[in-house]
Structure 1
Amino acid sequence: MKTKHINVAFVVLAAVVLAGVAYGVDYLWDKRFGPTAASAADCRLAQELIDKAQNPPSDAAEGEKWEQQIRQIRYTRLENDGISTEVGKYVHWSMVRATGDPARPPAGTLEEMTELAIGHCEDSGVELRVPKIVF
């Protein structure tokens, strides 16, 4: 009976240690490979650009100019490259949808883009709202 209690105690201890290690690895993985922390100013500007992306031009030539103007703002005013990249993807796919371009993002791309964009602003104090793009 005593051996059985020792075995149970060992299993419980091993489970607690493994859970702690798994949590630590997950935490470090997110810090290393997860979204980078964008500033509140970057997140407010990102929201402005995402809001602007709700009404892209339907003409392809105008869409290219519109996308280029937003790219210029991203490159000159956003300090966090991660949020800039996700906003750029959002603007691009919004323009593609509006112009009727037959290109489509690979499955899961838009969801991942949204998750990353929100993740960049998670600790900024700005709640980033990213409307879904539906093709």
Structure 2
Amino acid sequence: MNSKRINITFVILAAVVMAGVAYGVNYLWDKRFGPTAASAADCTLAQELIDKAQNPPTDTAQAEQWEQQIRQIRYTRLENDGISTEVGRYVHWSMVRATGDPMRPPAGTLEEITELAVGHCEDSGVDLRVPKIVF
């Protein structure tokens, strides 16, 4: 019976150590490869661009010009490349939906855009709201 208690104690101890290691690895992975921290100014502008993306033109030529204008704002005013990229991806798919283009994003892409955009703004003090794009 004594060896059974030792085995159970060992298993519990090993599980606690493994959980701690997994937590530490996940924390370090997120710090190294996770979303970069965008400023409050970048996140505020990102929200404005996401809001603007709710009503893209339905005409293909106008929509491409509209997307180009937003791209120019992103490239000249957003300092954080990560949030700029996610805003650009969101704007693009919003335009694709509005123009009736048959192209569709790969499964999980729109959720990934939202997750990463929100992650970039997590510590900025700006509560980024990214409406879902439905095809």
Q: TM-score range by the shorter chain?
A: over 0.9
Partner residue in 1 for 2:88: 88
Partner residue in 2 for 1:20: 20
Partner residue in 2 for 1:64: 64
For residues 45-67 of structure 1, what are the alpha-carbon distances to aligned partners after superposition, in whole Å with 9 as ceiling and x for unaligned? 00000000011111111111110
Which amino acid letter does the alignment assign opposite residue 94 of structure 2?
S
Q: How many residues align structurally?
A: 135
CA displacement at 1:10 relative to structure 2: 1.4
Partner residue in 2 for 1:73: 73
CA distance in 2, matches of 1:38, 1:76: 15
Which amino acid letter does the alignment assign opposite residue 10 of structure 2?
F
Q: How does 1:102-121 map to 2 (within 5 A)?
A: 102-121=102-121
Q: TM-score, normalised by structure 1?
A: 0.96
Point out 4+ residue stretches in structure 1 off by more than 6 angstroms. Answer: none
Q: How does 1:116-135 map to 2 (within 5 A)?
A: 116-135=116-135
Partner residue in 2 for 1:3: 3
Q: Which runs of 5+ in 2 are unaligned?
A: none
Q: Which runs of 5+ in 1 are unaligned?
A: none
For residues 38-84 of structure 1, what are the alpha-carbon distances to aligned partners after superposition, in whole Å with 9 as ceiling and x for unaligned? 11111000000000001111111111111000000000111111100
Q: How does 1:20-59 map to 2 (within 5 A)?
A: 20-59=20-59
For residues 10-41 of structure 1, what are the alpha-carbon distances to aligned partners after superposition, in whole Å with 9 as ceiling and x for unaligned? 11111111010010011111111111111111
